[in-house]
A = this chain, B = another copy of it.
Amino acid sequence: MRELEFYLAQRRKIAAFDYVDFLTEWDAQTDAAAGSIAADSVYQAALSEMKYRLTTDPEFERCVNELYLRRDRLDEALRHEIEVVRRSVEDTKRIPMDEYARIREITAKGYPVYVDAKKKGDFALFRPYLEQIVDYNRKLTVWLERPQLKGYDVLLDRYEPHYTQAKYDAFFNMLRDKLVPFVRERTAHPTPVPQWTRQRFDKAKQREFCEYIRDVMCFDKNFGIMKESEHPFTSGIGTDDVRITTHYYENDLVSSIFSVIHETGHATYERQCDPALNGTLSGGGASLGMHESQSRFYENMIGRSRAFWAVHYPRLRQIFAPQLDGVGLDEFVAYINRTEASFIRTEADELTYPLHIMLRYEIEQQLIGGKLRVGDLPEYWNGKFTEYFGITPPDDAAGVLQDVHWAYGDFGYFPTYALGSAIAAQLYHAMSRDFDVEQSLASGTTREINAWLGSHVHRYGASKYPDEILRLATGEDFDPNYYVDYLINKYSV
Chain A positions within 8 Å of B, measured between CB atoms, are: 12-13, 15-16, 18-20, 23-24, 26-27, 30-36, 38-40, 42-44, 46-47, 50, 220-225, 227, 236-243, 278-279
Smallest CB gap from A47: residue in B = B16
Q: Report yes or no: B31 in contact with A243, Cβ–Cβ below 8 A.
A: yes
Q: Are A16 and B50 in contact (CB under 8 A)?
A: yes
Residues of chain B lying within 8 A (CB to CB) of residue A42: 279
Nearest chain B CB to A38 CB, angstrom units: 7
Residues of B within 8 Å of A46, CB to CB, are 12-13, 15-16
A44–B12 CA distance with the chains assembled, in angstroms: 11
A97 to chain B, nearest CB (A): 13
Closest 9 CB pairs of A and B: A39-B240, A36-B241, A19-B43, A16-B46, A35-B222, A35-B223, A16-B43, A16-B47, A12-B46
Most buried by B among A36, A222, A225, A227: A36
Q: What is the CA–CA distance of A224 and B223 in the complex, to the nearest angstrom?
A: 27
Q: 20 A–B contact pairs at CB < 8 A?
A: A12-B46, A13-B50, A15-B46, A16-B47, A19-B43, A19-B47, A23-B23, A23-B24, A27-B27, A31-B227, A31-B243, A33-B223, A33-B241, A35-B241, A36-B224, A39-B238, A39-B241, A39-B278, A40-B237, A40-B241
A interface: dominant SS: helix
In the assembled complex, the Cα of A217 lies from the Cα of B364 at a distance in Å of: 48
Chain B residue contacts of A278, Cβ below 8 A = 39
Contact partners of A223 in chain B: CB under 8 A:
33, 35-36, 39
Decide if A43 touches B24 in the complex (CB within 8 Å). no
Contact B33 A23 (CB under 8 A): no
Identify A33's interface contact among B19, B38, B222, B239, CB under 8 A.
Answer: B222
CB of A36 within 8 A of CB of B240, answer: yes
Contact of A23 among B27, B30, B34, B39 (CB under 8 A): B27
Q: How far is the CB of A105 from chain B (nearest CB, A)?
A: 12
Q: A40-B19, A40-B241 are in contact. Are A224 and B33 (CB under 8 A)?
A: yes
Name the residue on B nearest A54 (C-beta).
B50
Chain B residues with CB below 8 A from A24, complex form: 23
A388 to chain B, nearest CB (A): 39
Which residues of chain B come closer than 8 Å to A30, judged between CB atoms? 31
State the Cβ distance, A215 to closest chain B Cβ, in Å.
15
